[in-house]
Each structure stands twice: as C-alpha cells, then as structure tokens.
Structure 1
Amino acid sequence: MAARRIVDSRREEPLPRGGLRSACVKCTPEIVAALESYLGNNFAYTLEAMKDMIRFDFGVDISTSTI
C-alpha cells in the first residue's frame, strides 16, 4: 500500500519526519543560552528558580522537565 502511494504521487524524496516543531517550541536557543548562563553564575539554582527566571526574563512559562 505504501509503495503504491509513493508511485502514485510520483515523489522521489521522502517527506521529512521528526525534528523540532517550530510552532510549538518554547525553548529557543536564547532560552538555552540563558539557562546555561544561570548555571554558570550559580550552579545551586533549583529547577523551579530557573523556571521563574525564564518566565521573568522571556515571558515564557516552561515546565521543569523541559529545563
């Protein structure tokens, strides 16, 4: 069935799969750099503290599991 779809569509290159979803990505490279900077300044910050700092600096609410 999949082979027939590929032949019918005349597509030679496969469609891209996986990767980042640009519409849903909250942790931008700037936020990652800020998190690294926070840890460079004080490695004892908790995840909750860094979450609050990101919310204050960028206005983005990310989960602690993202950090």
Structure 2
Amino acid sequence: MKITVDEDKCCGAGSCVLAAPEVFDQRDEDGVVLLLEAEPAEHLRPAVREAANVCPAAAISLSEA
C-alpha cells in the first residue's frame, strides 16, 4: 500500500490522526495533514483505510502496490 495526501484539500479535521496516529500527524501552525509513513506496515493498513474513508475532504489516496 502506498499513501498520498493532498495538502491543498486537507481541512485539518484530524480524523486521520485519530484513526491512524502512527501514520498521520498534523502541522502545528494550521492543522494540515502530515504523512509520517507513505508505505505503512501490514498491521497498520486497516487503520489507514479507515483514515482515508473518514477524511471529510477526501485528501487521502491509497494505492495497492
């Protein structure tokens, strides 16, 4: 799995951080998503899928590689 984020779409809701804190964080100054791990370990993938699904701005894209 490979993760990409569109910082321009991100609204700073923080849903991704709540769902997968090992993979996502937020910038302190504006709350925009920070991707900590672009290719997460297998055990993190369900949480990453959940994060992408709950993102209100659809700023998280997943590709299976």
TM-score by length of 2: 0.32
Structure number having the greater helix percentage: 1
Higher-Rg member (1/2): 1
TM-score by length of 1: 0.31
